[in-house]
Structure 1
């Protein structure tokens, strides 16, 4: 029987059809030791039979995607042998894998590496699996293998996917969905702002990853603050990032997305599937608050956010669009938290394959390793951000974060975003005691600069460049319009505009006619 996608699956159902490559996640995990081929195959067979995900198929009719839980398995496994890890890695790089799409959801291999050990290589369409599910498979593999090996096999209890679908249908017709919807609409109906770190547009959606490791001492500092203040590391980092973003955009509130593993009840916690929900968080930057107070204010939101997370951002966005005319997105940055804690003692090598595409500009994953250290992954659209920009974002956010952790009684407005080297550079640049200024007004000075730098780039915004000559000519055009409208020297002219090229052109035009400009934020209520 065909079933509609769940709300969690709906988040990526349409987007997954826009990309050209695999919309998949995966893992290869290889355990050290000599393999028993019979037990190895038996383990793989048990995994396939024990997990309903191998029975799923997807069908697209017009623009709607349906899922079918079949009576029999639609996917099995292959066993491959390699002489060395190098040969295995070469195979991964050069093998002509079948593309993961709606017609082919799972690619599952048993891997034997003669000079090391044995394990699994698993790729799955993101529509039917999240990263937590992939972790379930790795744990099930080694526990099942060791159980057969010791003649003490006890099958891991997996949830029934049919119960997941039943729970979803019940939710869609319950009072709970109405309460969740009401909660999210009340959070944002009066705060409908596009809170973007970058306004660049893209159609490639291709992700590049840059990773950073916190030192042992930095990791300990973060964890200790979390324990002492009974807050989560995720919301500590999110608080620091929101301060950074508010300064970059010069705003007093920002929206940031986060993803939650919304597995409710024993059945869902034991079922492989897609249960992740993305939700938006609105954070007000009250600059007079101390860092600890601000973190606590952000962290206390988590209970309500998780409680209502089943009605996710995609569902909310549809409501805001239909009922309030909202366009665009509430955020372009998502911050996640992941723990990498293994549930076995075996020595092994593991490599996770993250999804290579995303619709938002930047996803940051705060990963806590078993040894207590943190790794921060920046997955960014490579035609929106450069690697240098990502380096700067990471450095400046960390400056705010650790300045706050070390100076908890400081107001957040006084936390430093730049480090000592940057500060020394800016101090040097701002030594103005020996600078002489030409005896001329701003208009004449600007036009002289334009005359001396005609073909040099003056402005860059959203991929569009203007030379000094072009900028001057555009400003002159607007200045003539103002003069024709009767604007004269000493008048005041209001500018209502977001940040863009035309804003700069308009300011220069007003200066050219001798008037003064009054900037007005278009997001202000009309009464102001």
Structure 2
């Protein structure tokens, strides 16, 4: 007789079809046995369990494109025996074998979906390995199988059912539930709960499922402290670690609305809890978190939310994805992160045998990061972290664990602590970051200016391309010569050391040459964006006492200025001597003035000295610049971040590609389309506009980010869009 798949099974079936031949759904583990085992008796016990549980004999078939299941007749299973005792390093050989064993996928259609293997390491070390497909089992079921096998092994008459248990009964229960009023109430609950989803929590699985696992065993004292606290607060170990993990995500992502996944047993009565089969469901947990809350208050919120969600846990997760139309929005999961608490302890009273249970995985998963919490006894808590290798390095996961550990230590120290006061970094890490990693003392020439460093670069590579504008370019020598000619012209017009010369110009060769020419004349420059309101421009000109404007466009009639206006496009200003001028500036002189936005009042002019600029630019050169780099000059000259794009390439021998603003196309899109630049300086807001593009073949290899707070989620999404081939340097770091 054929039966429909449950919704949980159907989701596994569909995923298995998408990732064909993937071992992702292999689950199970190993019972490591110390002592002398009667293996004939053990084989009989295993076969009795197979016969007793119809779900182990489920077979799947496809009829007219629809999957069905049926119970295969029982026949004695031949259990494979592997003897590793003759190997030089039996344990290592076994571990390699079991890893490959779990990476071998099942044939899903009309085949046996479990496999038992007996192994031997020595006369007193042996064990039983179970690999089973998730579509017919879950973690709770694996523990039931292990328990039943040893009940039968120790007492051949013990395995007698108090009632007939069949997974088919659960299939019928689910069908009845889907036609019930409770189903409609559950649907409405989740519809309300998941309205206006936070996009940062949603996830689109990548094609690469490969993952690694990192295990951390908490020391006995910490385990005791945690158990003591959860007993005092009246919460579970699961709630404790959910709290720590949500605080971690809040601190690292900067989000107040977070969704994580948590598996639920979905076994509503005694019969379900005693039946082997695929019951487990995935439940999204959406929690709001605020800095002003105390840890204890936040725990109470989590407990309340979990209790509310548990009431409605039967609603199938695959229907939830469908209801929310996630696939049409480009996602396939409500969350990136999952926390799985194993509260099943293996039945280990097996006569003279000592038994230790160990879980194995296929090292494949469809989520970004999964935390598993195991507590096999009162004083041993094991934290596992399964992470996608495409998204995390091992060093990243070590850091995640360190931060989680720092958080739960503070939770243990003071449950009344405010969330805003919780630190991610330990005292040792803070000291390391501030006084070691953040050590910024560097020796750089104290008696030189930025112009001298530029001229040294000109002397080193005079014929190298410096500026590129569309299909034309200027070499370092050509740029330097024109800057020298302009400097001499400015001096002839009365520009002196210490004067403020304004630049009112759009991006062009002349803009860069104007900056260099002003500095070579001994003056400082004031960058003015021609798109600024005329009131702001007039204020800047008046406040700075600028007497000269260099421009490559006509000044607006609304600009009030009675000083010298010099047209940068007039070739007659480039007729004087081409050789370098004598340096008149010192490192303490002003190099430029930049005005604040004036959002809190009138704009304020900020004076930058040569030594300040040189300190930053030489640091940027050493930090960002590699061989054959090309910087994209596109942002307003009145933005402080543009300084990086102008001066860093000029002192490092890199190219500067000049982009003019185009109202018809977002300029950053054009830079990416051109595929010429390798380094782009931008803000996090810019990154958010390109995170959903396919940037896998981009020439851009480095982003220098500043001006705003950069969220980890945005950085991760951009990194994925570049297929990991991008470096993101965050110049605004809040320690």
**TM-score, with normalisation over the residues of structure 2?**
0.59
Partner of 1:178: 184
1:389 to 396, 400, 408: 396
1:49 positional shift? 1.0
SS of residue paired to 2:342 = strand
Q: Which residue of 2 aligns with 1:280?
A: 284
* Residue 155 of structure 1 pairs with residue 157 of structure 2: no
Q: For 1:14, what is the secondary structure of its paired residue?
A: helix
Paired residues in the alignment total: 496
Question: 1:111 and 1:144, CA in 2 relative to 1: closer, same or farther beyond 3 A?
Answer: farther
Q: Could you say which residue in structure 1 is the equivalent of 2:347?
A: 343
Structure 2 counterparts to residues 353-364 of structure 1, below 5 A:
353-364=360-371
Describe the SS at the equivalent of 2:428: helix
CA 446–81 in structure 1, closer or farther in 2 if over 3 Å, else same: same
Q: Residues 298 and 498 (structure 1 numbering): CA distance in 2 closer, same or farther, change over 3 Å?
A: farther
| Matching of residues 165-314 of structure 1 within 5 Å | 165-195=171-201, 202-314=206-318
Q: For residues 403-455 of structure 1, what are the alpha-carbon distances to aligned partners after superposition, in whole Å with 9 as ceiling and x for unaligned?
A: 12212222110011101112113432668999999854599988997799779
Per-residue CA deviations over 1:204-238 (Å, capped at 9, x if unaligned) read 11121001111112112221221111122222222
**Could you tell me which residue of structure 1 aligns to residue 77 of structure 2?**
76
In 2: Cα distance, 1:502 partner to 1:114 partner: 55
Partner deviation per Cα, 1:12-42 (whole Å, 9 max, x = no partner): 2222230544231122214444344553343
Superposed displacement of residue 153, structure 1? 3.5
Unaligned runs of 5+ in 1: 459-465, 488-493, 524-528
Deviations 1:245-287 (A, max 9, x none): 1222222221111111111212211111111111111111111
Query: 1:442–1:324: structure 2 CA closer, same or farther, 3 Å change rule?
Result: farther
Partner in structure 1 of residue 151 of structure 2:
143
Q: Distance in 1 between matches of 2:686 and 2:76?
A: 55
Q: Does the CA contact (< 8 Å) of 1:32 and 1:117 recur in 2?
A: yes
Deviation (angstroms), 1:141 = 0.9
Aligned to 1:13: 13
Contact 2:293 2:419 in 1 (8 A): yes
Residue in 2 that maps onto 1:123 = 131
CA distance change for structure 1 residues 189 and 219 in 2, over 3 Å: closer, same or farther?
same
| Partner Cα separation in structure 2 for residue 9 and residue 379 of structure 1 | 23
Q: Which moves more between the two structures, 59-68 or 186-195?
A: 59-68
- Asked whether the 8 Å contact 2:47–2:76 carries over to 1, the reply is no
1:314-361 alpha-carbon deviations (Å, 9 max, x no partner): 321111007995745331000111135232323124332124321111
**In the alignment, which residue of structure 1 is the partner of 2:54?**
52
For residues 359 and 447 of structure 1, the distance between their equivalents in structure 2, rounded to whole angstroms, comes to 48
- The Cα of 1:140 is off from its aligned counterpart by 0.6
Q: Distance in 2 between matches of 1:112 and 1:518?
A: 57
Match in the other structure for 1:27: 29
Contact between 2:337 and 2:367, CA under 8 Å: does it hold in 1?
A: yes
8 Å contact from structure 1 (residues 455, 469) kept in 2: no
Describe the SS at the equivalent of 1:169: helix
- Whether contact under 8 Å (1:479, 1:509) holds in the other structure is no
- Is 1:365 equivalent to 2:366 in the alignment? no
Paired position in structure 1 for 2:381: 374
Residue 418, structure 1, aligned to residue 425, structure 2 = yes
Separation in 2 of the partners of 1:442 and 1:82? Answer: 79
Distance 1:64 1:362 in 2: 32
Q: Which residue of 1 aligns with 2:359?
A: 352
How many angstroms apart in 2 are the aligned matches of 1:432 and 1:118? 57
Aligned-residue CA RMSD (Å): 4.2
Distance 1:118 1:479, change over 3 A: closer
Counterpart-to-counterpart distance in 1, 2:386 and 2:710: 35
Structure ID, larger Rg:
2
Distance in 1 separating the partners of 2:76 and 2:187: 37
Give yes or no for the alignment of 1:399 onto 2:399.
no
Distance in 1 (alpha carbons) for counterparts of 2:658 and 2:21:
44
C-alpha distance in structure 1 between counterparts of 2:704 and 2:42, whole Å: 75
CA deviation after TM superposition for structure 1 residue 135, in Å? 1.0
Runs (5+) with no aligned partner, structure 2: 447-586, 595-607, 636-644, 646-656, 668-682, 693-699, 715-735
Is 1:66 aligned to residue 73 of structure 2?
no
Using structure 1 for the length normalisation, give the TM-score: 0.81
Structure-1 separation of matches of 2:292 and 2:284: 24
Does the C-alpha gap of structure 1 residues 28 and 472 become closer, same or farther in structure 2, counting only changes over 3 Å? same
